[in-house]
Amino acid sequence: MKPLNIEICDVTLRDGEQTPGVSFSCKEKVEIATLLDEIGIEMIEAGFPAVSENEKHCVKTIANLGLDARISGFCRAKKPDIQDAIDCGVDMVSIFIPTSELHVRLKFKKPREQVLEESLEMIDYARDHGTQVRFAAEDASRTDIPFLKKVYQRAAERGAVLLSYADTVGCLIPSEMHAVMAELVSSVDRPFCAHCHNDMGCAVANTLTAAEAGAFQLHTTVNGIGERAGNTSLEELLIILWTKKGIDRYDLSKLTELSHLVEKYSGIFLPRNKPVTGELAFSHESGIHIAAILDDPSAYEYFSPDLVGGTRHFILGKHTGKKALEHVVASLGCELTEKQICAVLDLVKDHSEQKCNITPEVLRKLIRKVKESPA
Ligand SMILES: CC(=O)SCCNC(=O)CCNC(=O)[C@H](O)C(C)(C)COP(=O)(O)OP(=O)(O)OC[C@H]1O[C@@H](n2cnc3c(N)ncnc32)[C@H](O)[C@@H]1OP(=O)(O)O
Ligand SMILES: O=C(O)CCC(=O)C(=O)O
């Protein structure tokens, strides 16, 4: 398979922050941007400057951090929005327009052609002020292809350096994404961005497929936060790029720290079994699994927790086996006979079946009980 030519644009600080109820402080945005930069993310969408004075201040602060990542500001196709972003000193403005009949009808009381013409003038405006332009088609996935091609062709002619295809309502499945992205990439000579939402749970798969079809810039958010069901999860996409595509230039060891930071600052709690960074991502209870993992973790872990800065946990419960229990008991510094191990194991299973968590304290109590009982 052809190696992928891609870069990541993380939009946690813009689309991620559009998650209902989420608002990052400037300090929080700076911390998140700094970690994204340390991981090696090539572009960071720092915010939507026209939202508020505070937002402008945050975007400007991030643009002035001197990060390696290019910084972009999100804008409607309106001069004041673009001027706000330019005033922040961003490397690039991301100008978006809706392109589907539905969106244009709802938002503008004029024909699509006219909306497009007026928006193209905004590309000139930004470029005249020395700023690069990423031109985004909102609701592209529900836009008829002939009009969409015209939008991208015209934006490319006017000097947009990146063209964004947004699956705004997450309505695509991977085969559809592949077909449309391949067609766009072969008809317009400019790098494409894939911006996917997760309404049907396909955001990561669609983004990967878009890359396989030739998209260059892949949009992500940390923990997949974002409007409604969110966006493409950064940590899930990066692990796929590492394991399947040989892309090893990102520092994945910081992913768990970043994920937990965004969890804390967003207040959007991770599902315990969230891939890559969830509490259970490297937790094992089944006796058969742990018995094998003690010899070689790759038996039940496709990638190591060390790779992503995570930790392996052995959980005791109903499904525990003798080898797992012996290992945990030894790690507590206790020594038990074979008979005592079997007795503790029975108690562990019994307690777990009564929905009691086997914490180290509980385990110590069970061990004491067995040791004190007459042989
Ligand atoms: C798919 C996406 O994620 S798009 C980004 C969505 N993000 C957000 O909306 C979050 C930030 N938004 C905000 O803070 C506010 O909505 C603001 C500051 C942008 C605008 O606020 P207001 O001026 O009060 O406008 P309001 O939100 O009520 O309506 C949106 C206006 O933007 C216009 N608009 C929407 N998209 C675009 C666009 N791409 N280009 C130009 N104008 C647009 C609408 O037509 C409407 O215009 P109108 O006020 O003349 O009717
Ligand atoms: O394509 C983009 O850059 C973003 C547009 C967007 O946020 C969306 O349509 O969901």
**130 has pLDDT over 90:** yes
On whether the CB atoms of residues 97 and 119 are closer than 8 A, the answer is: yes
Q: What is the mean pLDDT of the chain?
A: 97
Kindly tell me if the per-residue pLDDT of 363 is higher than 80: yes
> At residue 96, what are phi and psi to the nearest 5 degrees?
-115, 145
Residues 282 and 276: their CA atoms lie apart, in Å, by: 8
Provide the pLDDT confidence category of residue 374 given band limits of 50, 70 and 90.
confident
pLDDT digits (tens, 9 = 90+) for 234-253: 999 999 999 999 999 999 99
Q: Which of 14, 15, 119 to mutate to test the pocket of ligand 2 (most atoms within 8 A of CB)?
A: 15
Q: What 3 state SS string does 22-50 have?
A: CCCCHHHHHHHHHHHHHHCCCEEEEECHH
Task: Determine which residue's CA is closest to atom 2 belonging to ligand 2.
Answer: 136
> CB-based contacts of 320: which residues, under 8 Å, 6+ apart?
285, 287, 290, 345, 348, 349, 352, 358
- In this predicted structure, what is the pLDDT of residue 106? 96
Over residues 53-76, the mean pLDDT reads 98
For residue 49, report the distance from its CA to the centre of ligand 2, in Å. Answer: 15
Alpha carbon distances (Å) from 86 to 48, 68, 91: 11, 19, 8
- Determine which residue's CA is closest to atom 7 belonging to ligand 2: 15
Q: Which of 18, 168, 221 to mutate to test the pocket of ligand 2 (most atoms within 8 A of CB)?
A: 168
Structure tokens at 108: 């503008």
Complex ipTM over 0.85: yes
Residue 295: strand, helix, or coil: coil
If pLDDT is split at 50, 70 and 90, which confidence band does 1 have?
low
Using the atom order of ligand 2, give the atom closest to the CA of residue 74. Answer: 3
Residue nearest ligand 2's atom 10 by CA: 168
Q: Which residues line ligand 1 (CB under 6 A)?
A: 15, 18, 48, 50-51, 76-78, 96-98, 107-108, 138, 168, 227
Contacting residues for 338 by C-beta, under 8 A, at least 6 apart:
none
Quick one: which ligand is closest to 136's CA? 2
Helix or strand or coil: residue 79?
Answer: helix
- Tell me how many degrees the CA angle 180-185-188 measures, rounded to the nearest 5: 115
- Report which protein residue has its CA nearest ligand 1's atom 15: 51
Residues in the chain: 375
Model confidence at 52, in pLDDT bands (50, 70, 90)?
Answer: very high
Please compute the mean of the pLDDT values over residues 210-216 and round it to a whole number. 98
Q: Mapped to the 3 state alphabet, what secondary structure does 119-187 carry?
A: HHHHHHHHHHCCCEEEEEEECHHHCCHHHHHHHHHHHHHCCCCEEEEEECCCCCCHHHHHHHHHHHHHH
Task: Please report which confidence band the pLDDT of residue 91 belongs to, taking 50, 70 and 90 as the band edges.
Answer: very high
Where do you find CATH 3.20.20.70 in the chain? 7-266
**Percent helix, strand, coil in the chain (nearest 5)?**
50, 15, 35
Q: Token pair 């244009």 is at which residue? A: 104
Whether pLDDT at 135 is above 70: yes
Burial class (CB in 10 A: 0-12, 13-18, 19+), 333: exposed
The pLDDT value given to residue 3 = 85
Q: How far is the CA of 97 from the centre of ligand 2 (A)?
A: 9
Each residue of 299-347: pLDDT tens digit?
999 999 999 999 999 999 999 999 999 999 999 999 999 999 999 999 9
Mean pLDDT calculated for residue range 59-82: 98
Q: What is the pLDDT of residue 109?
A: 85
Report the CATH fold assignment for 7-266.
Answer: TIM Barrel (3.20.20)
- For residue 367, pLDDT over 90 is answered with yes
Q: Which residues line ligand 2 at a C-beta cut-off of 6 Å? A: 15, 94, 96, 136, 138, 164, 166, 168, 195, 197
Residue whose CB lies within 8 A of the most ligand 1 atoms, among 12, 17, 51, 54, for a mutation test: 51
